[in-house]
Amino acid sequence: MTAPRRAAAAPPPGSLLEVLAHRAALDPGRTALHNGGSSLDFGSWQRRSTALAAGLLARGLRPGDPVGLWYGSTRWTEYAVAYCAVLRAGGVAVPLSDRMAPAAAAHVLSDCRAVAVLHAPGGPPPRLPEGVWAAPGDLIEAEAGEKAPDIAPPAPGASAQYLYTSGTTGLPKGVRATHANLAHGCTLDERRRPLRHSRTFLHSFPIGTNAGQTMLVNCLNAAATGVAAPQFTPLRFARLIEEHTVGSVFLVPATAIELLASPALSRCDLSSVRLVGSTAAALPQPVALRLSQVFEGAQIVNYYTSTEAAPAQITLLFDPGRPGSPGLPAALDQLRITDRDGRPVPAGEAGEIWLRSPASPRSYLGPQENGADVFQGRWVRMGDLGMLDDDGYLHLLDRERDVVKSGAYKVSTIQVENALHAHPEIADAAAFGIPHPVLGSVVAAVVVPRHGEPDVPGLRSFLLDRLAAHELPARFLFRDTLPRNEGGKVLKRELHRLLDDEAIS
């Protein structure tokens, strides 16, 4: 007797378009995405994006032409159609959030030399560069009818997306990704789809961010159906978990902090949640611990990646018994920690964090030498300092640019923020360096209190149990909110301005 032959595994897709076509042919009526009162199934996604692609070609779009996509968080289904349509027509998708400042949107469209902007009925960005035309995506889709574009499938190495970095320290930079880069990790094998433990997954990430793009790919590739919250409020988000029996919840630290501070969690059934994922910025240790307590049956996961590094990503499994680390990496083969000369450092020693892309790496737009200090072959320098301990747990020490050099000491702002978040009367906090005439720099902190302004001497006493004397903030500023970008990251340059404004006043 001979053993039964196993069916050959399906080859990996070369583009996201292959994934969509496969799923539309296999189960066209299956819902891929819910967003408010709007839903999108795979058959409609394929049919509508094909029609819109035909309309773009009829308007003169040429292979490689960048097209801006200006959509808000209430328009995820329309955005999903427009994104795949641009790729289907041979163009390059340039995702934009309608929360962007007009000047930032104009910079992006000019920098990438976009030829057009697709937008929702609310209208295009208010400051279009000269020569860029704009139209509602559904209008072009209706004009094309049932036409199918006569264009060859994209080459895996062709440009597919220009995604702009969050710009926490200046103008955002364009990052180029190929079709092969975007499709890495996707599958045509139904048995291997990710998020199989969930019927649905939920997020509130804005369009135009790396986290938002990851969720779009999940809608195409995951076993679970995507639910995009039109707007984040803790009660609405918790109700969506209950309504859709959500198994996987994706957050950024800012929304996690807001969610945990709300009584909404006690009003809704959260028992379906099996995974809580955090991305975009370091999740404060006390916040991760509280998440593990609230979502008792869920694994808390920190996803460590960046716009430049994707699809390189380290999945960190948070251990409540070891809250000092964001987690144990699920795999170490794509991670290295080095000294300044690029030599790997031993366990227990701090160094620069690098990730290796398992697919065609990304690159910055512009001259070839642009980003030479970030991209080295398949390795991407993350701009963070970290350490692996003897048990393999990763410790994020700080962003390189955020480390405060105070006298003979180097102070981690992440460590200061973790201590501040541990205080029961502090809802949110950010630490940063300010000039000092003797020490060079000292730590300052902007704090969001829960109930009125805390007692500063009492706060300092609390922090002395958790921080060394040189790590204590020399100045505190109390505010109702922290300035953040569209992706939820704190804009530390704005914190400096807050202190400057206070000094002037």
Write the pLDDT tens digit of every residue in 163-215. 998 655 567 889 999 999 999 999 999 999 999 999 999 999 999 999 999 99
Res. 7: pLDDT tops 60? no
pLDDT tens for each residue of 285-322 = 999 999 999 999 999 999 999 999 999 999 999 999 98
pLDDT recorded at residue 5: 53
Mean pLDDT of 3-17: 73
What residues contact 378, with CB distance under 8 A and at least 6 apart? 356, 357, 358, 361
Q: How far is CA 168 from CA 172, 432, 483, in A?
A: 8, 13, 10
Question: Given this model, what pLDDT does residue 501 score?
Answer: 61
Mean pLDDT on 29-47: 97
Rounded Cα distance, 89 and 152, in Å: 9
Query: How many Cβ atoms sit within 10 Å of the Cβ of residue 159?
Result: 21
What is the C-alpha separation between 292 and 347, in angstroms, rounded? Answer: 27
Radius of gyration of the chain (CA): 23
- E strand or H helix at 241, and its extent? helix 234-243
- pLDDT value at 154 more than 60: yes
Judge whether residue 488 has pLDDT over 90. no
Contacts for 369-373: CB closer than 8 Å, 24+ residues apart: 371/308
Q: What pLDDT, on a 0 to 100 scale, did the predictor assign at position 1?
A: 47
> Contact, 94 vs 79, CB < 8 A?
no
For residue 87, CA distances in Å to 64, 343, 444 come to: 9, 40, 46
Q: Which of 2-11, 27-36, 185-194, 291-300 has the lowest mean pLDDT?
A: 2-11
Strands 375-376 and 379-388: antiparallel
**Region 201-230 average pLDDT:** 96
Compute the half-sphere exposure of residue 275: CA atoms within 13 Å on the CB side of its CA. 22
pLDDT at 504: 42
How far is 353 from 257, CA to CA, in rounded Å?
26
DSSP state at residue 9: P
Percentage of residues of the chain with pLDDT beyond 90: 65
Q: Are 202 and 218 in contact (CB under 8 A)?
A: no
For every residue of 93-122, DSSP letters joined together read EEEEETTS-HHHHHHHHHHTT--EEEE-TT
> CB-based burial of residue 324 (10 Å sphere; 0-12 exposed, 13-18 middle, 19+ buried)?
exposed
Domains of the chain, first to last: 16-182 (3.40.50.980), 403-504 (3.30.300.30)
Residue 431 vs residue 495, higher pLDDT: 431
**What is residue 311's predicted lDDT score, i.e. its pLDDT?**
93
Two structure tokens written together for 31: 């819902």
397-449: pLDDT as tens digits:
888 888 888 887 788 889 899 999 999 999 999 999 988 888 888 999 999 99
| Predicted pLDDT of residue 505 | 40
DSSP state of 5: P
> In this structure, what DSSP letter does residue 424 have?
T
* Dihedral (Cα; 204, 206, 212, 213), 10-degree rounding: 150
Q: Which of 96, 17, 28, 27 is nearest to 52 (CA)?
A: 17
- pLDDT for res 9: 63
Return the pLDDT at 136.
Answer: 95
Q: Over the chain, what is the mean pLDDT?
A: 90
What is the structure's pLDDT at 462?
A: 92
CA terminus-to-terminus distance, the chain = 88
Q: CB-based burial of residue 36 (10 Å sphere; 0-12 exposed, 13-18 middle, 19+ buried)?
A: middle
Residue 375 has pLDDT above 50, yes or no: yes
Q: Could you report the per-residue pLDDT of 384-397, keeping only the tens digit for each?
A: 999 999 999 999 98
Average pLDDT of 85-114?
92
pLDDT given for residue 101 in this prediction: 82
- pLDDT for 498 equals 79
Name the strands in the sheet holding 328-329, side by side, starting at the edge strand that comes first in the sequence.
38-41, 31-35, 225-228, 200-203, 248-251, 275-278, 299-304, 314-317, 328-329
pLDDT in tens, 242-267: 999 999 999 999 899 999 989 888 89
Residues 6+ apart with CB under 8 A from 422: 285, 286, 466
pLDDT reported for residue 56: 95
The verdict on pTM exceeding 0.75 is yes
Give 468's pLDDT tier (boundaries 50, 70, 90): confident
pLDDT at position 352 is 94
Q: What is the pLDDT of residues 313-365, one digit of tens each?
A: 999 999 999 888 999 898 788 899 999 888 999 999 999 999 999 888 999 99
pLDDT at position 235:
95
What is the tens place of the pLDDT at every residue in 52-91? Answer: 999 999 999 999 999 999 999 999 999 999 999 999 999 9
Query: Is residue 67 within 8 Å of 114, Cβ to Cβ?
Result: yes
